[in-house]
Amino acid sequence: MGGLAVGYLPDRLGAASDFEFEWGGVAFVQRVWETQLPDGAWRVDLQVQAMRGEGLADLDALRAFLAEYHERGDDWKGEPYGEDGVAGEHEVARLLAPGLAVEVRDPFGRVGLHEVKATAASVVKAP
C-alpha cells in the first residue's frame, strides 16, 4: 500500500476501500475498512494512510502537518510514540523516513488504541 507493508491488522474489519489524494503538498494513499451498521449507515473501522511529501522532513514537521490536516490547532503535540512517532487519542503516526510517513486511525473507537498501536508498529517500507 503506497510502498508500505502492513504486517498486522485487527480482527473483524469490514470492507476495504482504497483512495488516493493530495493535501497540503502531501500525496496520500489510504485504505479504509468500514462496517455497515444495522440502520444502513457505514462506520469506519480503521484507516491506514501512507503519506509522501517533502514537507514531512522530520517528526516535528509531521506533527505540525497532522495538526493542520486534522484541524487540531498549533498547540496539538500528541504523545511520543517510540522514537519515530506521535500518538493521539485515536491515532498513531510514524515517520518512516524523511518524506515518508504512515498514520493509522480509529476515528470512531471501533478497534481501540491498543490495536491502532499494534497496526502502526507493524508498518514497514515494502521490499
Residue 25, in any domain of the structure: yes
Q: How far apart are CA 41 and CA 82, in angstroms?
A: 36
What is this structure's pTM?
0.92
Q: Residue 78: which domain range?
A: 14-100+111-125
- Cα dist. 98→38, 58, 62, 67 in Å? 43, 6, 10, 18
Cell numbers given for 85: 512517532
Residue 37, in any domain of the structure: yes
What tens digit of pLDDT does each residue of 59-79 get?
A: 999 999 998 998 887 667 788
Q: Higher pLDDT residue, 61 or 2?
A: 61
What tens digit of pLDDT does each residue of 6-18 get?
A: 999 999 999 999 9
Phi (first) and psi of residue 40, to 5 degrees:
95, -15
Residue 57, in any domain of the structure: yes
Tell me how many domains the chain contains: 1
| Least confident range of 25-34, 36-45, 61-70, 75-84 | 75-84
Residue 55, in any domain of the structure: yes
Q: Which residues on neighbouring strands pair with residue 38, listed in sequence order? A: none
Check: CB of residue 85 under 8 Å from CB of residue 120: yes
